[in-house]
Amino acid sequence: MTDHSSDPPARPAPSSAPVGQAMWGGRFSGKPAELMQAINVSIGFDRRLAPQDLAGSSAHAAMLQSVGVISSEDAAAIQGGLQQIEAEIAAGTFPFREEFEDIHMNVEARLRELIGPAAGRLHTARSRNDQVALDFRMWVREACERSLGQVQALQLALLAKAEAHADAVMPGFTHLQPAQPVTFGHHLMAYVEMFGRDATRFQDAALRMNESPLGAAALAGSPFPIDRQMTAAALGFARPTANSLDSVADRDFALEALAAATICATHLSRLAEEIVIWMTPQFGFIKLSDAFTTGSSIMPQKKNPDAAELVRAKVGRLLGSFTQLTVVMKGLPLTYSKDMQEDKVPTFEAFDALELSLLAMAGMVGDLEPNREKMAAAAGAGYSTATDLADWLVRELDLPFRDAHHITGAAVKQAEAAGVALGDLPLAKLQGLDNRITAAVYEVLTPQASVASRKSYGGTAPDQVRAQVARWKELLG
Ligand code: ARG
């Protein structure tokens, strides 16, 4: 159906060909089937590359003029036309037309309408292959930079909450079982670290992709005396790519950005899950205002953490996008294949979802209010200071940790049987386990004392938390 080369050569002139085909239809005598158009057309989604396409074309035209490939009159006409197109897009009047397939040919076709035949000179020493590689790379670079800014805004929101609640005790969990008391500030700062690594992943990805593929042309480079350094510099790239085949075939820059985005989304999903858990009446650790919750149409008492739940779910889209593009790229022979047109939708969708998630999460974090009393009460439950008792036995009585662990286990068993907290077990009971235990032990059995004692670097003691907040404030300042 699509093999036009087998069409009889003596068909009517290309004047009957659809407009889009006029761009490349010199050797074609038949029209593409309607279905061919339907599967081929990408303007519906690649119109998002318009700003990058215009910037790339402008830099290319300036370079062609500077090396003497096109006249200054033609270059001026091209630049003027590109500016007008930019204005039309901004005003919403630019005609995005399916018959011109994609954004590149839509821009060129409009340019021809505006400035006449000089438009045809813009495509000298260029192909849609390096053009789309350039546009998409610039889009992904900007998406990484935007994500970086949004991650940092979220980190600032977390920092503010962490500082305000550096000393608020809460249970720290392993296996979602109460483990040892920590502070709410410390818990939030754990996410500041995770998002900090996400930020550097976006930075690294943006840095690694920062080479311009423009000038690779179709795949082999150009016979014209083009200046690739010039276009690279004009478009903010560190340098031109060094292999023309790689330039048009590579999409690993997008894969890397999607991987970074997916990892970031998993961090968002974990925090979202904690917000959901903390908001249940059973936990009651935090309150979210009406801004990020919804009610139920049947149960009047309900306040549901929908925004958190949606952030928790969005990672599915992100991973789906990463998977999609990986599967598109795997096994593709060098260099460009039309398969690669399928790179854009998943990438756009992924970054749209990430952006919404990051903004919503920053909003929720700024909005949430911890219930310090409830968290403190829960921090003392579940024999959470058992390790503190064992550590006291090691420190004060010089017991080997294993023996201290055993004695503490017996104390927990007795407290459980008596239905009391560890700190409410009578001294006589404790002395029954080792008669050298004194009343001083009770000082380490409160959650406050427990967290205050964990002063090791990176530990949960409020002073350590404040020190980390200060370090991050400086880093992000
Ligand atoms: N719309 C195409 C894409 O997104 C542009 C490149 C087309 N190149 C080609 N040789 N057909 O991949």
pLDDT in tens, 218-231: 999 999 999 999 99
The residue type of 251 is: R
Choosing from 49, 123, 132, 344 the residue with most ligand 1 atoms within 8 A of its CB, the one to mutate for a pocket test is 132
Q: How many C-beta atoms surround the C-beta of residue 363 within 10 A?
A: 18
For 427-455, the pLDDT digits (tens) are 999 999 999 999 999 999 999 999 999 99
pLDDT band at residue 13, thresholds of 50, 70 and 90? very low
Distance 337 CA to ligand 1 centre (A): 8
At residue 271, the pLDDT reads 98
Lowest mean pLDDT among 141-150, 338-347, 380-389: 380-389
- Average of pLDDT values for 50-71? 98
- Average of pLDDT values for 40-53? 98
Choosing from 2, 24, 106, 128 the residue with most ligand 1 atoms within 8 A of its CB, the one to mutate for a pocket test is 128
> What is the atom index within ligand 1 of the atom nearest the CA of 46?
4
Residues linked to residue 181 through DSSP beta bridges, in sequence order: 171
- Average of pLDDT values for 182-197? 98
Distance 356 CA to ligand 1 centre (A): 29
Choosing from 107, 129, 138, 348 the residue with most ligand 1 atoms within 8 A of its CB, the one to mutate for a pocket test is 129
Is the pLDDT reported for residue 1 higher than 50?
no
Lowest mean pLDDT among 4-18, 332-346, 444-458: 4-18
> Alpha-carbon torsion 138, 139, 140, 143, what sign?
positive
Nearest protein Cα to ligand 1, atom 12: 341
**379 Ramachandran zone, left/alpha/beta (phi>0; psi -120 to 50):** alpha
125 within 8 A of 225, measured Cβ to Cβ: no
Give a three-class secondary structure readout of the chain.
Answer: CCCHHHCCCCCCCHHHCCHHHHHCHHHCCCCCCHHHHHHHCCHHHHHHHHHHHHHHHHHHHHHHHHCCCCCHHHHHHHHHHHHHHHHHHHHCCCCCCHHHCCHHHHHHHHHHHHHHHHHHHCCCCCCHHHHHHHHHHHHHHHHHHHHHHHHHHHHHHHHHHHHHCCCCEEEEEECCEEEEEEEHHHHHHHHHHHHHHHHHHHHHHHHHCCEECCCCCCCCCCCCCCCHHHHHHHCCCCEECCCHHHHHHCCHHHHHHHHHHHHHHHHHHHHHHHHHHHHCCCCCCEECCHHHCECCCCCCCCCECHHHHHHHHHHHHHHHHHHHHHHHHCCCCCCCCHHHHHHHHHHHHHHHHHHHHHHHHHHHHHHCEECHHHHHHHHHCCCCCHHHHHHHHHHHHCCCHHHHHHHHHHHHHHHHHHCCCHHHCCHHHHHHHCCCCCHHHHHHCCHHHHHHHCCCCCCCCHHHHHHHHHHHHHHHC
How far apart are the C-alpha atoms of 273 and 312, rounded to whole Å?
6
At residue 289, the pLDDT reads 86
Residues linked to residue 171 through DSSP beta bridges, in sequence order: 181
More confident residue, 224 or 26: 224
How far apart are the C-alpha atoms of 416 and 409, rounded to whole Å?
11
- Average of pLDDT values for 48-65? 98
Choosing from 49, 131, 341 the residue with most ligand 1 atoms within 8 A of its CB, the one to mutate for a pocket test is 341
Distance 241 CA to ligand 1 centre (A): 19
Residues linked to residue 287 through DSSP beta bridges, in sequence order: 369
- Average of pLDDT values for 171-175? 96
Rg (CA), the chain: 31
Distance 102 CA to ligand 1 centre (A): 8
Task: Tell me what percent of the residues of the chain surpass a pLDDT of 70.
Answer: 95
C-alpha distance from residue 57 to each of 28, 29, 74, 88 (Å): 27, 30, 13, 16
At residue 18, the pLDDT reads 56
- Average of pLDDT values for 187-210? 98
> What is the atom index within ligand 1 of the atom nearest the CA of 338?
12
Angle at 474 between CA 471 and CA 477, to 5 degrees: 145
> What is the atom index within ligand 1 of the atom nearest the CA of 136?
4
Nearest protein Cα to ligand 1, atom 4: 341
Contacts of 317 (CB under 8 A, 6+ apart): 349, 350, 353
Distance 123 CA to ligand 1 centre (A): 14
Is the pLDDT reported for residue 30 higher than 80?
no
pLDDT band at residue 294, thresholds of 50, 70 and 90? confident
- Average of pLDDT values for 255-279? 98
Is the pLDDT reported for residue 14 higher than 70?
no
Is the pLDDT reported for residue 330 higher than 80?
yes
Nearest protein Cα to ligand 1, atom 10: 129
Distance 129 CA to ligand 1 centre (A): 6
Distance 128 CA to ligand 1 centre (A): 6
At residue 291, the pLDDT reads 87
At residue 313, the pLDDT reads 98
For 82-101, the pLDDT digits (tens) are 999 999 999 999 999 999 99
Pairing of strands 286-287, 369-370: antiparallel
At residue 380, the pLDDT reads 87
Distance 133 CA to ligand 1 centre (A): 9
pLDDT band at residue 33, thresholds of 50, 70 and 90? confident
Ligand 1 site residues, Cβ closer than 6 angstroms: 42, 46, 102, 128-129, 132, 336, 338, 340-341
Nearest protein Cα to ligand 1, atom 1: 102
Q: Is 175 a catalytic residue?
A: yes
At residue 293, the pLDDT reads 87
Among residues 15, 175, 297, 456, which one is catalytic?
A: 175
Among residues 71, 72, 296, 337, which one is catalytic?
A: 296
Nearest protein Cα to ligand 1, atom 3: 341
> Alpha-carbon torsion 132, 77, 110, 108, what sign?
negative
Is the pLDDT reported for residue 7 higher than 90?
no
Is the pLDDT reported for residue 24 higher than 90?
no
* φ/ψ (deg, to 5) at 169: -80, 145
